[in-house]
Structure 1
Amino acid sequence: MKTKLFFSLLCLPLAVAAAEPPEVNHYAFANYLGSGIYSSAGDTAAVANVPLSFDIEATNNGMLMLRVPLSVGFFNYRWQDLPDGEFPDAIGTVTLTPGVEYHWQATEKLAMEAYFDIGFGHNFSDSSNVGILSAGISTLYAFGAPEYSPLWVSRFYSAGYRSIQRGADDSYSALTTGVDSGVGLGFYALDRFMEPRLFMALHWYFGRGELADEPVGALMQGSTVEAGMSLAFDRPMGIEPATIDRLGVSYSRVAGEGVWRLFFSLPL
């Protein structure tokens, strides 16, 4: 169950395109998986997230924000289309999950984030709609030498959906922990400072009830290691709100198959 769920989440537009229930509605989780192009066993899926947010209130060590993340899934987009500048033929899915998010600086080196979303998703292939609910908490710990600026990130969140037409529902929880670090090098290009960085992360994805029923057993099974490299920019590239903070690629193995991911923001 874990590996099947994880793979369907990674390649969610492919699952929608194949119209194989219950994965047909897993595009509802797109906002929580990150922008990128996912490829496995010759199949490719593209997800573009626009993380819109607006400041509501700021304190000395915290910030309350309104989140309005928009996610779009494409069915027919391939790695080779990227350098050619080709755009997808059609939008396959779209999700909008507004909510509130709070960031606070717990210590000089430890930052924390928490959010709560209630949203909506639409699948253009069958004109179906889903309601979405999600909440999560994260820690970001800066440590080590400044020239490498390593960051240890841990995130836990739960997300669920309910089909408006069919009444079908599903949910999952995810735990991710990993480190993103520079390599002590950098250069200027395109009027920006660019820094090569490496990361490694361990992911756990739990189906409904697994973590509550058997927490130790759930943590001991179904883990996936992801490793990759990226080029981070000191200033975002693009036109607001469609900007990218970095460009990178990662590799992991899920259910015995290799999964490549092209990402455009912090991979953790």
Structure 2
Amino acid sequence: VDSDFNAPSSEKPLYLNEFIQKPSAEHQVDVKTAMRNPVVSDPKDLVRSHAGDPHNKYGVAEWRHIHYDIVREPTFPRKPDLSKGELAAGAQVTRTDVWHDPKEPAITSVAKFSPENFRPVGWAENAPQPITTVPEGTLDFRTNRLPIGHADRRPWIYFLAASTGFIMSSIVRVVACKLVHTMWPAKDVWAAGVVEVDLRPVKEGQNFVVKWRSKPVFIRKRTPDMIEASRKDDPIAPSMRDPATDAERCKKPEWLIVIGVCTHLGCIPQPDA
């Protein structure tokens, strides 16, 4: 709203409008070289409880900033007077030519009005610079800490790096083992794929049927005549779908081992039929 009683904060601020404008690095130097107030240990020695804000001029702004909420700023505010230390920020910079300096590029002039370049008068002498938030007598291990880069910190860093590497390697190993064991066949499946057969009781010319993975396997101990008859068919082996000679099919000539499932309808043939 517009108010005739209360001017906007850019026209009549409720706080002292006295600021120092210079680079932030110079403000930090001022903090180190300024004449500081005496060091106090009791908060009640800092300022009297009824003294209020020394920068406050009057009114409710000491407790509530109502003034800045109900009074509308003008579209084109008044140009701040930098020679008096007035603050130039926000619309006072963007909508006035306070930043303009014909002796330097515009981008250099605008950069000088960055908020960190303004500090209120007396800031270097009065800004609180606490060295700790821990009361005296409270153990916080400050004196036990070594500075970063200290030679005595290296063993701890080496130990921490080695421990971290060992833990991460263990995690990777556990995950890899779990993944492999998840894809590993079950024990019953593994056992079904291995069948041991005692061939000593099998006589020459006799067939023996054993079950392997739910399929019948025919085992025949061949006689010399059977071996000779099978080898006579070796010349026509190349014409077969899976060409192989008798010697290639039977590592031991006397033993013929084949799966007894018909390739047509899956029926099981009768031995010696």
TM-score scaled by length of structure 1: 0.17
Q: Which structure would you say has the larger Rg?
A: 2
TM-score between the two structures when normalised by the length of structure 2? 0.17
